[in-house]
Amino acid sequence: MVVGLLFGCASVKPNVVLGVSTVAIAADCITTVTRPKDWVEQNPILGRHPSNGKVLAYCAVSMGLNATVPNALKLSPKVKKIWWFSLAVWEFHEAIHNLTQ
């Protein structure tokens, strides 16, 4: 799948990659809200000690923007896949980081 995404393989549908990136955002969100209370958040938008509500609202907005911005910009399916793949890699990285700190 990774090779297909990077080279625009027609067999990987953009909506599949959108789904993977949405799951990645959810993974980051879940691992953020389950962190110990003394943990310091690194996202400057959320602040150092965001409430669970703030994190969940931020994640909901992120998921909404992730689904709508590439379509609003009228990006080609290939560029959408690159957008969503890149986001998925970043968000899964952040989720793993949350689990290992």
Span 5-63, pLDDT tens digits: 455 555 678 889 999 999 999 999 999 999 888 889 889 999 999 999 999 999 999 99
Contact 91, 28 (CB under 8 A): yes
The pLDDT value recorded for residue 9 is: 53
For the chain, domain boundaries: 14-100
The pLDDT value recorded for residue 82 is: 92
Span 63-94, pLDDT tens digits: 999 999 998 999 999 899 999 999 999 999 99
The pLDDT value recorded for residue 13 is: 85
**Burial of residue 95 (number of CB atoms within 10 Å: 0-12, 13-18, 19+):** buried
Both tokens of 37, joined, read: 């209370």
Q: Shortest CA distance to 36 belongs to which of 87, 101, 80?
A: 101
Contact 13, 4 (CB under 8 A): no
Q: Provide the 3-class DSSP secondary structure of residue 93.
A: helix
